[in-house]
Amino acid sequence: MEQFSSSETHLFILWQHARSEETRILQDIGGRFEIVAVREVHWSRVSENFTRFYGQKLPPGSFKEEHCGGGAFLAVIVRDRHPLYENRLTSKGERLVNANLFDAKQRYREWTGGGHRVHATDSEAETRHNLALLFGVNLAEFTAAHPHPWNGGVETVRADLAGAGGWTSLRQLFSTLNATINYLVLRNFEWLPDQFATEEHGDIDLLTDSLEEMVFLTNGRKVFPGPNRVHYAVPIGGEEVLFDFRHFSDHYYDTTWEKAMLANRQWHERGFPVLAREDYFYSLLYHAVVHKPQIAPDYVEKLTRLARELRVPHTESADFSHAPESKRLLDFFLKRKGYFYVRPKDQSVQFNDVLLLSQRPAVVEPEALEALPLLRPLPSLLSARKLVEHEGRAWFSAVYDDRQTIIKQTTGDLAWRDGALLRKLDGPNFPRVLEVGQEAGWSWAAFERVEGRSLVDVLPKVGKTPAKLAQFFKKCLGILTALKDAGITHRDIHLHNFLIREGHPVLIDFGWAVSDDLPCFTPQDLGDAGRPPDGSFCDVYAMGQVFAACVPLGSHLFEPLIKLMTDPSARRRVTSLPVLKQLLKGLPLPEEWPHPPLFATHRREGEAPPWQETVERILSRTRQRLAKQEAEAARLVLEHGLACQPQSVELRTALEELLKPLLPVAHPVAPAPQKSSSRWTFTGLRQRLEKIRRNIFPTSASA
C-alpha cells in the first residue's frame, strides 16, 4: 500500500447505458472526491472513437458499443485529495492502481448492471491519456484552467476524439502522442514540427512500444500491404504525411536496444521526445552503415558534426565516409552494450550483407585494453583480445588498421618477434616490415597493409581451372622453400592466414613462428587443425591441408601430391620441397574441371560455420539468379554457405553427399566427350535446381 500526500486528477466516464444511475453516482462521487468539472459529450464517429480510445479494433455495432451505448455520455473530472495505491485484479492482471478510483468504479458498475458501462482512470498517466484524446488538452493545462471545485453546471461538448478526421498540425499530433503513448522521434527531427519532410528524408521515423496503438491513435493508413511493412500515411493539415512506425521486435534495431532507447529518451525543446545523446549518435551510425548500401554524404556530415558536438569518445579522427572504419566503431558500441546486428523483418529495409559479411566484427575484450595502451584511435582497432594463458601469465594482442599500415601490439615480445622473423623473409609472398619496437611489458610491429583478399573469398578464382590451381600450389611451395631457407617454422599455416595480392599468395601472422635464434613457448591447441597426429609441427603437412581445402569437392586430380604431404606417418611423409615441386609439375592435368567446381571453405578450430543462416541469406538475395542461372547460383550458395575442416574426411564426405542433389554423379565412371559432358552436367544441374527452387520458393514463377 502506498499513500500519496499530493492530490491527483482523475476521470470517470458514465457511458450512455449507465446514465440511468447518473444522479446516484454523481452524489457518491461528490462525497468521496472533489468534482472539478462535468461534461456531456456527443460523438459523431462512435466506433472509430471507441477503437482509438481503447486501442483495439472495435467496428460499428461491436459488443463494446452495444453494451456501453453510442449516445451522449458524461465525463466527470475529479480531484483525489488522498490517493491510495494498492494492488487490484484488473482485466490486464494484477496491477498497482489508485484504489480509491478503482473501488468506486467497481461499485458503480454493480449499480449499472455489471460489465463496463462505467470507466475510471487507474493512474494520472491514464488521466493524461484520456484528457488528451477526449478534449485535446494536457493535464497541466486542464488543472490550471480548473483551480476551483465544480459549480454544478454541465458543459456540452460536441466533438470527436482529437485527430478524428485528421490533425490540424504536427504540433497537435505530437501533443496528443506525448500524453497517450510511449514513443520517440528517431532522427531527422531538426525541421520538426514546422516542416514535414525534406528533399533528403521524405518521412518521419518514430519508435514505439505498441505499433497497433500508434496506428489507432494517429489514424494512420497503411501505405503498402504486408505484415511487416510499417509505412503509414497520417492526415495532417489537409495532406497525408508519411511515417515509419518502428516498434519492439521488428528487428529494425536489436529489441534490447529499442527498449533502452525508449527508457532513456529525452525531450526536445520543441515539445517531442528524442533519443538520448549516445543512442542518437550510434543509432544514426547503425542506420547509415547497416540500412544503407553506402554512407551518404549528408550522413557523413551529420555524424562528424554530432561526434564533435556530443563529444563521442574515440571519434576525434574518425572518417565516417569509410564504411569499415565506421562499422568497427559501431562494433565496439554494440559489444559494450550487449546489442547485436539484426536483420529487419520489414524487407523493404536495406540490410548491408556485403559489409557485414566481408568485415568481421571487431573482437574487443576490456581486459586487453587494460593490459595494452591504445596506440591508435579506437575506430582503427581491429581486435583486442587475450591470446593465451601460459604458466600463469596472460598474453594479450591488439591489431590496428590505419589504412596505410597494419600495427600489431602484444604483451611481452610476441609482436617484436613477429616483425623480426618477417625481416628475414623477402618477396611478394610476405608482408613487408616497416618498423618494430619494444616498451616495458609490451612490443609492437608495423607492417605494410597488404591490399588483397582472403584466400577463402577468392578460392573459386584461384581454382578456376586445374592449371590455375597448380600454379597457386607452386607459389605456396615457394613460400615453404623461403621459410626453410630462413630457418623459420611458421607453426600456424591454414587457409585464413593467406591473402591473395595481385595473384600471389601472401602468408601472414608470424606471431607463433620460431627459429633457432628466436624460440617461443607453444600455446595449447596452436595449429591443431594443421598438425600431424603425433602433435608435432610440420609446415609441409599444414600446407597440404590447405591444398586439400583448395581442391574442388569430388576431385582427385591433386591427390597424389596431397597424400604425400599429409601422410600421418612422419617417416612416410614427403617433406623434400624439390621432390614435391617435381611431383606437382608431373601431374597430368586437364584444361578444365570435369564438372563445375564446387569448393568447401575452411574454418578455424572452434569457429561455428555459418551453415543455415548464410545459405538462407544468399538464397534470398539470389532468387532471380536461381531462376535464370541455376549452375552459377548453386556455386554461389555452396561456396559461401558451406564450411569444413579440410582434413576431416567425415565432414568432406558429408559435403559431397550434400552435393548429390545438385550434380548427377560426383565421379562419372566413364567420362563422356567434352562437348556432351558440359551439356549433360548443366542439364542435370538445371533439372535438380529447378526442383530445389520449387521447394524453396513455391510461389515463384518457373524459369
CB atoms within 10 A of CB 150: 18
pLDDT digits (tens, 9 = 90+) for 115-125: 999 999 999 99
Tell me the C-alpha distance between 53 and 417, whole Å: 71
| pLDDT tier at 629, thresholds 50, 70, 90 | very low
**Residue percentage of the chain with pLDDT more than 70:** 82
Q: What pLDDT, on a 0 to 100 scale, did the predictor assign at position 355?
A: 73
Rg (CA), the chain: 35
Please state the domain extents for the chain. Answer: 2-158, 170-358, 372-448, 455-692
State pLDDT tens for residues 460-469.
Answer: 899 999 999 9
Other Cβ atoms within 10 Å of 133 Cβ, number = 20
Give Cβ neighbours of residue 523 (< 8 Å, ≥ 6 apart). Answer: 387, 388, 390, 512
Single-letter residue type at 126: E
Q: Taking residues 186-192, report their average pLDDT.
A: 89
Segment 558-570, tens digit of pLDDT = 999 999 999 999 9
What is the separation of C-alpha 419 from the centre of its chain, rounded to a whole number of angstroms? 37
CA distance 552 to 130: 69
At 657, the pLDDT band (50, 70, 90 cuts) reads low
Instruction: Give the model's pLDDT for residue 127.
Output: 96
SS3 label, residue 524: coil
Give dist(CA 488, CA 519) in Å, integer.
Answer: 10
Comparing 461 with 312, the larger pLDDT belongs to 461
Tell me which fold the domain 455-692 belongs to: Transferase(Phosphotransferase); domain 1 (1.10.510)
pLDDT in tens, 662-675: 443 333 333 333 33
pLDDT in tens, 205-241: 999 999 999 999 999 999 988 888 999 999 999 999 9
Q: Which of the residue ranges 286-300, 374-388, 543-557 would you say has the lowest mean pLDDT?
A: 374-388
Give the pLDDT confidence score for residue 666 in this predicted structure.
34
CATH of span 2-158: 3.30.70.141
Instruction: State in words which class domain 372-448 has.
Output: alpha beta
Distance, in Å, from the CA atom of 419 to the CA atom of 430, rounded to the nearest integer, reads 11
What is the pLDDT averaged over residues 496-518? 93
* DSSP-derived pairing of the beta strands 8-14 and 34-42: unpaired
**pTM (2 decimals)?**
0.60
The CATH architecture that domain 170-358 belongs to is 2-Layer Sandwich (3.30)
Domains 2-158 and 455-692 share a fold: no
